[in-house]
Amino acid sequence: MSDSHGNTPAAWTAVFIGLVAFVVGGVGLMFSPLNYTVFWIGIVLLPIALVVYVAMNKMGFGNTGH
């Protein structure tokens, strides 16, 4: 593996957004009664993490693959 494997701004940003998505979704499930609006906001954030990763990678913030 390369020295920068997973240590790029694109990867860290995607992981952070993904973690926020899981926390938001989990909080929505812990409300009593269940708050499906907050849960689905968390679900919507997951693909956004992937889109942000791809966009940042194309902008040069990812691993260049030397």
- Residues 15-64 have pLDDT tens digits of 999 999 999 999 999 988 888 999 999 999 999 999 999 999 999 998 86
DSSP for residue 32 = S
Does 17 map to a domain?
Answer: yes
- Residue-range definition of the domain harbouring residue 41: 9-60
Q: Based on the structure, what is the number of domains in the chain?
A: 1
Amino acid identity at 23: V
Q: Residue 11 in contact with residue 25, Cβ under 8 Å?
A: no
Token readout for 21 is 């998505």
The answer to whether residue 38 is domain-embedded is yes
Indicate if the pLDDT at residue 1 is higher than 60: no
First to last CA, the chain: 11
Residue 18 lies in a domain: yes
Tally Cβ neighbours within 10 Å of residue 56.
18
Is 4 part of a structural domain of the chain? no
Half-sphere exposure of 17 (CA within 13 A, CB side): 18
